[in-house]
Amino acid sequence: MKIGMVGVLSIAVTSACGTKSTTAWCVDRMAPPTGKTKGGYKVVPDAYCDTREIENGTVGYGRYFWYYGGRRDGSGYVRGGSYSAPNSHRIKSNSGHSLIRGGFGGHGRSGG
């Protein structure tokens, strides 16, 4: 198989830009902690959160907001993350949508 120089360059650029990503979890601030989940937030469908918050680098103060990083446990709660989006990583939602912020070009858009 023969790959041209432009093809090789585009693969290299794509690989370099997509190496690090952070998961953005849409969470419910009001969900009661249960059992081992004390201190965590209940993960809800992405549709409850506003992707403009990621694009603008703002934190939502309503019931639902984006929580970055951390780990989701078996009961659907996430812990160990941050309210602040990292500027140097690609952000993707829990459902797999690309919510780019930072990285190559440094500008974010929702991946619909």
Q: What is the pLDDT of residues 44-77, one digit of tens each?
A: 999 999 888 877 777 888 899 999 999 998 889 9
Token couple for 15: 């690989």
Helix (H) or strand (E) holding 16: helix 5-17
Question: How far are the Cα atoms of 11, 14, 59, 109 from residue 26, in angstroms, in the given order?
Answer: 31, 27, 12, 17
- Indicate the pLDDT class of residue 97, thresholds 50, 70 and 90: confident
Is the pLDDT confidence value at 112 over 70?
Answer: no
Q: What 3-state DSSP class applies to 75? A: coil
pTM for the predicted model, two decimal places: 0.67
Q: Contact, 89 vs 68, CB < 8 A? A: no
